[in-house]
Amino acid sequence: MPGFDKDRLNRIAGWMQSYVDDRRFAGASVLVAQGGREAYYHDCGLRDVASGLPWQRDTVARIYSMTKPVTSVALMMLAERGLIHLDAPLSDFIPSFKDMHCLRAGATSIDQTEACETPTLHQLLTHTSGLSYGFNPGVLGKAMAEQQIEFRGTKGTMAEMADRLSVLPLAFAPGTRWEYSVATDILGRVIEVITGKALEQVFIDEIFDPLGMNDTRFKVPAHAHDRFAACYTPLAGSAFSVGKVDKSAETLRELDGSAKSPFLHPQIQSGGGGLVGTIDDYLKFTEMMRTGGAGIIGPKTLAFMMRNHLGGDIASMGPRSFAEQPMEGTGFGLGGAIMLDPGRARAPGSIGDFSWGGMASTAFWIDPVNELSVIFFTQLIPSSSYPARPQLRALIHGALT
């Protein structure tokens, strides 16, 4: 196993500080572990610009879509117990998804549909289900945005939102394309149906308590209110749009403050993007995945999750949606992206890297070849604002000896 050149690794601090000095990020932290030992940690900047509070190691941040691997692990725990199989149709658990329709090829309105199969749990896990997001381009994304079908904040319940979504057609016949979607939110609801528990309670019982992830919850823990970061955007319009939006004159416009955030009192427990937590908590999760399950899930199940489940890379599946990662040279497993070809992905890495990120520019990857867990935390929406993720990959791989 290679080690690190310390001087090269220390370049990360200057790189992070430049983002803070240029007011691109308010604050940030990075944590690198190799072979189970901490190899590097650095933080800089502020967790709350208005109050001047520093970004620290125990800062609680919104991890958004880095929730998806947690939900995927929870679902696969149920598979290990024989409670589900991955080819089961979604309607077995949420009956309103029976008798599905999808948009016809070239559809220009939401009523131009044809009958199709109900997506399976495997198709939801791999974002090939035909579901979408309200910020995605296309007929379905537009309808979701107009009807405010979104699994976040204080808008309705998981069960209500799932049933509202089921009325809309799918963007395409399940299995025929790849589109980033609310599928993992729907899987969170499936977990609730199977277990009879709220999703957070399942996470606490099965993952958080066994791993000691005491600061990771859907609701900011009462003991961590004073450590909760504010979230910012450089955009003048909706920060949750990934299309063309005008930049704001203020590069750190506060979007979600630490004192009045919906994460202080969420109604929906979003399995696709609702968790908050600390960088050390998330390291416990990534290390569990990297080292074989820590006794909470089987190592063979994790190996199955962290392999490519698509026929090729994401690009070969005709994606038309936003994604957190490059689509060329990148496949998709159960809950995260898989590095197939670093050259085609245009990002340094090892074949088999498992990774994903969150809307607020957080990111992680697990490198099984170099025995790495790398986690980056900040709070800026959208994650497409700056090329921080490929830059961090280059810095870390450039430091390996």
CATH architecture classification, 76-195: 3-Layer(aba) Sandwich (3.40)
What are the residues whose beta carbons fall under 8 Å from the beta carbon of 126, sequence distance 6 or more? 178, 309, 310, 332, 333, 334
Token pair 């791989």: residue? 397
- At residue 40, what are phi and psi to the nearest 5 degrees? -165, 140
Read off the pLDDT band of 319 (50, 70, 90).
confident
Task: Print the SS3 string covering 347-401.
Answer: CCCCCCCEEEECCCCCEEEEECCCCEEEEEECCECCCCCCCHHHHHHHHHHHHEC
Domains 6-66+215-399 and 76-195 share a fold: yes
d(Cα 355, Cα 373) in Å, to the nearest integer? Answer: 10
Spatial neighbors of 387 by CB under 8 A, at least 6 apart, are none
**Residue boundaries of the structural domains of the chain:** 6-66+215-399, 76-195
Residues 226-235 have a mean pLDDT of 97
**CATH of range 6-66+215-399; options 3.40.710.10, 3.50.50.60, 3.40.50.720, 3.40.50.300:** 3.40.710.10
Which helix (H) or strand (E) is 209 found in, with range? Answer: helix 209-211
The answer, yes or no, to whether residue 324 has pLDDT greater than 80, is no
Global pTM reads: 0.96
Q: Is the pLDDT score of 214 beyond 70?
A: yes
| Percentage above 70 pLDDT, the chain | 96
Residue 156 — pLDDT band, cuts 50, 70, 90? confident
Query: Torsion angle, CA of 170/171/173/177, rounded to 10 degrees?
Result: -140
Q: Which residues lie closer than 8 Å to 155 by C-beta, 6 or more apart?
A: 148, 161, 267, 268
How long a stretch of residues is the chain? 401
Q: Quick one: average pLDDT of 256-274?
A: 94
Structure tokens at 310: 């698509």
Q: Which two tokens stand for residue 311?
A: 């026929």
Distance CA 274, CA 299 (A): 26
Please count the CA atoms within 13 angstroms of the CA of 364 that sit on its side-chain side: 30
How far is it, in rounded angstroms, from Cα 366 to Cα 284? 12
| Average per-residue pLDDT for the chain | 95
Residue 143 contacts residue 110 (beta carbons within 8 Å): yes
How do residues 105-139 score in pLDDT, each as one tens digit?
Answer: 999 999 999 999 999 999 999 999 999 999 999 99
pLDDT the model gives residue 287 = 98
In the chain the first and final C-alpha atoms are separated, in Å, by: 9
Tell me the two tokens of residue 318.
């005709």
